[in-house]
Amino acid sequence: MENSKTETKIPAGGKKIVLVGNPNVGKSVFFNALTGLYVDVSNYPGTTLDMACGRYNGDVVIDTPGVYGVSSFSEEEGITRDIILAADLVINVIDAVHLERDLFLTLQVIDMGIPMVVALNMVDEAAREGLKINAVLLEKLLGVPVVSTAVVHNVGIEELKEKLYFARPGQPEAQLLKKIENMGTSVSRAEALLVLEGDPVVSERCGVKPGTGREQIYRNRLDRVSRIVNLVVQETDSGKDFVSRLGRLMLRPSTGFPLLLLTLWVIYELVGVFLAQVIVPVTEEFMIEYYEPAIGSLLDTFLPRDSVINNLLTGRFGLLTFTVTYMAGLLLPLVLGIFLVLSVLEDSGYLPRIATLVDRAMSFMGLNGQAIIPLILGFGCVTMSIISTRMLRTDRERRIAIFLLALGVPCSAQMAMIMAVLAAQGGFYLLFYLCFMFCVLVATGTLLGRFLPGRASPLLIELPPLRLPGPQNVWKKAWSKSYQFMKEAFPLFAGGALLLGILEVTGLLQGLREFFVPITVAWLHLPAETADVFIMGLIRKEFGAANILVLQMLPLQKLVVMITLSLTVPCIASTMIILKERGWREGLLLWFVVLALAFLIGGLVTRLLEFFSSSGSLQNPLLFGVMILALAATIALARFSPPGKAL
Amino acid sequence: MTLDKARKGQVIKIKSIANELIRVQAIRFGLSEGEVVVCREIVPAGPVVISRHKQEIAIGRSLARNIQVELC
């Protein structure tokens, strides 16, 4: 998102250079090499969801989402299509290992008549796989300059820069060209081609009827691809090694689920135990023991101790104490840790394999396995992952995925606070929390999958080769994401603290607390002060949750607050994105439904927990039994309810 | 037979894909009718993984049921 703001003005006389390629071929690395800016590099489809722009020699370079072809099968394809239509020249990045897949897009852009240069990337990997590729012949067959590169090792960049301005339209298919000329309309050749291929959006824009020959055109193009590949690729030997065997093991349920559990356990040990219980206490103590007293005594020399301003700056919700301590001492290490983990997952190529593994289970929630990717990314940042739901193919799937993200997936900042608050209470509370959230997610998903009209679209996903992520790339990505995150969070966090401080100083907070008594005290059985938590939680969850550390509460009550808070929509930014992606009506409806559900479920869990704690011990295994039973009942209800009841 | 009936390790030829929208999307992956692929993995009750050259593609079970194949 942030990238789109960097530079979008095109200098006078400047050209629009557009990077185009299949997912996961290294476009973003080229973008970095040309512009010096950093964007995400990931090993799964759908990373570059908003275009990134940068400058190169007075021209504008635009990075696009990875696509397999130019058309309108999903929203991200639509975005890419429009950028390509507006391009002056295209750098087409193709993966030397997967020419038979990547050349389809190449030939399509050539048929569109857009000047192009081809970067034949990952030639090193192709050599390792035993493939020899004749780049000179490829250049002749395509009719555009071809440069061999291995961009992650900085090979071929200079040559690409040299050949960039020799970009030219390639060798189109003669028959197709004739058809386009016969159309004789005023539209451009590129648009004419897309109309022939039946693209509904472009046809409507041009005011003509979409063509019906798409399949035939695609098939001819694929035949051309096969002919070219047969001519330029020589296979010496086929590699079957440990990596491809590991890739298989990840797909088989008998080994795949244990591997998945092992991965999740390692992540938990890393983030939940090492970071949250070893590193964070140190950084937090440093802030409280050294930073806060220092800033306090410094300020006392300028301002009287009990003045309003001093209170706002260093009081309970102090801008310089509370805000800075939580941002730097607690959030930063945890958020960075979670983004590091996610970067490794993204770059390794494991995510599409998880998608394949869980495809069956996800189908009960009306989703296909691919939807697991936004859901996992949601644990990093719900706002970003809501954007990444664009990779899903139907509107219905996006609706379900966004609802689940809004309701049941806590983002990294929330996870940070949850780890900090609940880990201090003991493992039981954390376990209960995780189990409970999981049950809510599955139950909600099952109900939505059952009662929203329509069906899950079938899974069709490419499994990229497993790669060991480059430490530098992982670090850069995690750091830039954390930085963006902190940059966005800081003003909101500070503004929230200020607001809360002002409310407290003026006594308004007391009024609000009383207003919310029916919900907080009567329904959730919590102290009235928890109203602060929920009020601030509307802005940013972790900010609301940070207040819990300040309040005196029973462990059970902390758990209830955490669950209720987690279930409401994550933050003001994600609310805005939901409204943007789903429109005002659906967005607002979703927001209020999630809010109502959160408090409803919060009240129910209060009663459940109180029942158990009054009848002996709270830490009773039966508690989990009740949870699983409720989940099973919901699933049964959804599966066996008469179909006539569907909305 | 249909793709979901294929067994691991079998070399199969794709005869037809029932859904038009999926058919054109598959072509863009480099996968079309008449293509010879290897069935690499079958996730029980889940997707079928096929490979062609160096490329692996996972196909959901419901979709695999709509793909006609023959053994080679």
Q: Are residues A263 and A303 in the same domain?
A: yes
Interface contact B62, partner A, CB < 8 A: yes
Condensed to tens digits (0 to 9), the pLDDT of residues A345-357 reads 888 889 899 999 9
Both A257 and A171 in one domain: the answer is no
What is the pLDDT confidence band of residue A646, given thresholds at 50, 70 and 90? Answer: very low
Residue A238 near residue A130, CB atoms below 8 Å: yes
Orientation of helix A555-567 relative to helix A412-425, angle to 10°: 170
Same domain, A278 and A156: no
Tell me: the pLDDT tens digits for A68-88? 888 888 777 888 898 899 899
CATH of the domain at B11: 2.30.30.90
Q: Is the confidence at residue A43, as pLDDT, over 50?
A: no
In SS3 terms, A279-328 reads as: HHHHHHHHHHHHHHHHHHHHHHCCCCCCCHHHHHHHCCCCHHHHHHHHHH
What are the C-alpha distances in Å from A11 to residues A59, A87, A295? 7, 15, 47
3-class state of residue A59 by DSSP: strand
Residue B70 burial class via C-beta count within 10 angstroms: exposed 0-12, middle 13-18, buried 19 and up? exposed
Across the interface, whether the CB atoms of A460 and B58 are under 8 A apart is answered yes
Q: Do A352 and B58 make contact, defined as CB atoms within 8 angstroms?
A: yes
Domain end residue (candidates: A168, A200, A235): A235
A397 & A502 share domain = yes
Task: Please provide the average confidence, as pLDDT, over all residues in chain A.
Answer: 82
End position of a domain, from candidates A235, A267, A290: A235
Residues A490, A525, single domain; the answer is yes
Neighboring chain A residues of B22 at a CB cutoff of 8 Å: 458, 460
Number of other residues whose CB lies within 10 A of the CB of residue A8: 10
Tell me the pLDDT tens digit for each residue of A247-282.
Answer: 888 888 889 999 998 988 888 778 767 877 788 778
**Testing the interface with B: which of A43, A222, A225, A367 to mutate, by most B Cβ within 10 A?**
A222
Q: Which amino acid is at A105?
A: L
CA distance linking residue A375 with residue A365, whole number of Å? 13
Kindly identify which residue of chain B lies nearest to residue A103, measuring between CA atoms: B30
pLDDT at A44: 44
Residues A226-237, mean pLDDT to the nearest whole number: 82
pLDDT, residue A346, reads 82
For position A38, what pLDDT does the model report?
55
**Per-range mean pLDDT, top range of A192-196, A364-368, A412-416, A452-456:** A192-196
| Domains: count for chain A | 2
Q: What is the pLDDT of residues A359-377, one digit of tens each?
A: 988 888 888 888 888 888 7
- A458 → closest Cβ in B30, B32, B60: B60
Q: Are residues A80 and A146 in the same domain?
A: yes
A38 to A34, A48, A52, A401: CA distances (angstroms): 10, 12, 9, 29
Q: What pLDDT was estimated at residue A305?
A: 72
Residue B25 has its nearest CB partner, among A97, A456, A460, at A460
A203 lies in the same domain as A312: no
- Which has the closest alpha carbon to A42: A477, A633, A584, A614? A477
Q: What is the pLDDT of residue A178?
A: 87
Residue-wise pLDDT for A522-574, tens only, equals: 888 888 888 888 877 776 676 777 777 777 788 888 888 888 888 887 777 77
Domain match, A183 and A263 both: no
Scanning B21-60 for CB atoms below 8 A from A yields 21-30, 32, 40-41, 43-47, 49, 52-60
CATH number of residue A129's parent domain: 3.40.50.300
- Structural domain boundaries enclosing A557: 253-645
Q: Which domain holds residue B14?
A: 3-71
Q: How remote is the C-alpha of A112 from its chain's centroid?
A: 32
Question: Could you tell me the pLDDT band of residue A21, with boundaries at 50, 70 and 90?
Answer: very high
Where is the domain boundary, A176, A203, A235? Answer: A235
Q: Tell me: do A352 and A423 sit in the same domain.
A: yes
β-partners of residue A91 are A19, A117
Q: Which residues of A touch B23 (CB under 8 A)?
A: 215
| Domains contained in chain B, number | 1
The contacts of residue A644 (CB under 8 Å, 6+ apart) are none
- The mean pLDDT of A498-503, rounded to a whole number, is 80
Residue A513 lies in a domain: yes
For residues A441, A443, A448, A449, the Cα torsion angle rounded to the nearest 10 degrees is 100
Q: Answer yes or no: do A317 and A190 share one domain.
A: no
ipTM: 0.91
Q: Which residues contact A67 (CB under 8 A, 6 or more apart)?
A: A20, A22, A23, A76, A77, A80, A105
- Position with higher pLDDT, A623 vs A443: A443
The answer on pLDDT for A7 being more than 50 is: no
- Answer with the residue of higher pLDDT: A555 or A140: A140
**How confident is the model over A390-404, as a mean pLDDT?**
86
Q: Considering CB atoms only, which of A222, A456, A465 is closest to B30?
A: A222
Q: Mean pLDDT, to the nearest integer, of A41-46?
A: 46
Optimal mutation site among A95, A360, A392, interface B, most CBs of chain B within 10 A: A360
pLDDT at A2 over 50: no
